[in-house]
Structure 1
Amino acid sequence: MEALKETNLLQNKKIAVVGGGPGGLTLARLLQLKGADVKVYERDFSQEARVQGAIVDLHFDSGLKVIEVAGLTEVFKANYMRGADKYRNVDKDLSICVDEDNKNGTLDFGNEHFRPEIDRGKLRDLFIDALLPDTVVWDSQFVSMQQLNNGWQIQFKNGTTATADIVIGADGYRSKIRPYVTDIKELYSGATFIQGEVDYPKRDCPEMYELVNNASLIAMGVGKTIGVQPSGDGSRLTFYTAALYEEDWFKNSGIDFNNSEEVCAYLMKFYDDWNLTFFTLFKSCTHFIHRPINYFPLDQKWETKSNITLIGDAAHLMPPSGEGVNTAMLDALDICECLTNGEFENIQTAIATYEKQMLERAKKLGEEALELIKDFASPSEEYIKKFIEQLNEPKNV
């Protein structure tokens, strides 16, 4: 690993990254490549404590770019899901409108249109495996922190403490670090997802399992959408039902989300004119999650602090658009570069430069995501037609 230069701001500094998701782990890897002293504090009890969710695609000029800088391209290629970047689009009657599996040509690494998918757990594992031993401190749920000399003392739920000269919050949009940086709150986009997991789709909803075919399925009808994705090994399915709801719908709906039968009954009624095969998804799910799609104000700004900042959703939550993980990884690259390139006279100036470019990028991507999510969650006939046409457009191979 590269030794820190004498002019490097991180010389003899301890860095605490709070949150062991893709952004936090990427940052730890990049910092260690520069010779920095970094720990990642993660609330999960262990690396195997929980399933990490559905697949995620990395993009040419963001996620894949960072993977290369991190020296992990070959291990990524060994773990990504071949063919999972394909889409299948159907209507509410289950008629296939777009089937990318039947298109000629296959994109590959080096092509700007190639967006390889990888299981979130696999992505997490390959970063963890690349870190120095004991970099990730498990069972470390953040409770609070207070300034200590020129740094921070961090308190965790398990009763332990840690000290750091610099703290970087990578703990998602419910970030416990964010309030130490800014009091700007999230806003509601108007769209809500109801997420479900199917543990045994090959057995419990075989027709839907075959239709997904280890790729991504999007089903659209006027005013509502269903998306389905496989897990990394294809054994499970994650689905999302999307529509526009009032902000207080969850509170006023009368639905007990701890009762899967109640949620299932609601969804079958909401999608009552859709093909019954979709109902097999709902009936096979034993745990639903209500996910209002929130975002931080696009014009948010705050006064840069001397030794604390944010990356990823903790900094710039936006509606899902395929950019979340990719942007978090870019944030990690940018803050690492600012802290280690020797161009700034102090840490606060380096953080300020990072935050300026990070917030400018997030504003642009957030505007696009906010416009997209309302059309995606509640598509019109015109939007559905345009969406299908775009999927059918040939890509450069």
Structure 2
Amino acid sequence: MHFKNGSTAYADLVIAADGANSRIRPYVTNIKAFYTGITMVEVNVFDAAKAIPHIYTLLNGGKVMAFGNGKNILGGQKGNGHLGFYLSIKAKEHWTKDGGPDFTDRTQLLVWFKKEYSEWSSVWHQLIKNAAMPAIPRLIYCMPPDQTWEALPNITLLGDAAHVMPPFAGEGANTAMFDALELSESLTSGKYNTIQEAISNYEINMCKRAATAAQRSLENGERMHSEGALQKIMAVFNKR
């Protein structure tokens, strides 16, 4: 392993847990994530109790999921009193570069928001007017749910490096933690003759689990950005 600071390390096994843009994943597979058609613009409001008291009170220490006209506003309170929100929309993959607002400019961002969310209450304008700059556009990608590859004897993947997925089922971090548990059990169980066999067992199960979570995330994303989203999402919750 060659690191940015010039150092080098040797290992019998490399576990890539380096996120959605993993530098190690290409050594395992050439399968790439696809753009889901959804972009989320992250905005944060500091000292929200003073900056946006109406919305701060609405959250009451919890979270909010607002749906309407194929768009979402998703947010929640942080432990330090700040609020974090995502403005979630259907958009072309390169819209942020081709005609999108300057995300460092609050005035431009507010103009864009008023146009994009024109059917929404003006109470939400407070988010942009009081947001810390820059806002951060986050394009939402997903690994193909049917991805598979041949296990290697000295490299494996976990978390987003293995199966980045949309956040709309709340399973990304849970799946990653289960990856770590299942990988450690495969490597230490004594059931397998080689590390490669242990990795193969882990990766087969991991891909199956991740496929289920990713498919649920994709389906929820479509529901949340469709007409009648509120009713559709409530129906999902009511089934549980």
Query: Equivalents in 2 of 1:244, 1:332: separation in Å?
Result: 33
> SS of 1:258's equivalent?
coil
Query: Equivalents in 1 of 2:63, 2:50: separation in Å?
Result: 19
Corresponding position: 1:246 with 2:92: yes
TM-score by length of 2: 0.93
Is the deviation greater in 250-259 or in 312-321?
250-259
Query: Equivalents in 2 of 1:289, 1:186: separation in Å?
Result: 20
Of Structure 1 and Structure 2, the greater helix share is in 2
Corresponding position: 1:212 with 2:59: yes
Q: Which runs of 5+ in 2 are unaligned?
A: none
TM-score by length of 1: 0.57
Query: Equivalents in 1 of 2:150, 2:108: separation in Å?
Result: 46
CA contact (8 A) 1:225 1:379 kept: no
Question: What RMSD over aligned residues (CA atoms) do the two structures have, in Å?
Answer: 1.7
1:353: how far off? 0.5
Query: Equivalents in 2 of 1:163, 1:260: separation in Å?
Result: 47
1:191-210 alignment, distance < 5 Å: 191-210=38-57
After superposition, what is the alpha-carbon deviation per residue over 1:285-313, rounded to whole angstroms, capped at 9, x for unaligned?
A: 12211111111111111121111100011
Give 2:182's aligned residue.
334
Give 1:157's aligned residue.
4
2:28 partner letter: V
Give 1:291's aligned residue.
138
Specify whether residues 182 and 280 from structure 1 end up closer, same or farther in structure 2 by C-alpha distance, changes over 3 A only. same
1:340: how far off? 0.2
* Structure number with higher relative contact order (C-alpha < 8 Å, ≥ 6 residues apart): 2
1:361 partner letter: R
> SS of 2:218's equivalent?
helix
CA contact (8 A) 1:190 1:374 kept: no
Find the partner of 1:182 among 29, 47, 50: 29
Percent identity of equivalent pairs: 40
Corresponding position: 1:386 with 2:232: yes
> SS of 2:119's equivalent?
coil
1:1-397 alignment, distance < 5 Å: 154-233=1-80, 235-285=81-131, 286-320=133-167, 321-376=169-224, 378-381=225-228, 383-391=229-237, 393=238
Moved >4 Å (runs of 4+)? none
Q: Which runs of 5+ in 1 are unaligned?
A: 1-153
Give 1:94's aligned residue.
none
After superposition, what is the alpha-carbon deviation per residue over 1:258-291, rounded to whole angstroms, capped at 9, x for unaligned?
A: 3333223211221123222211111111221111
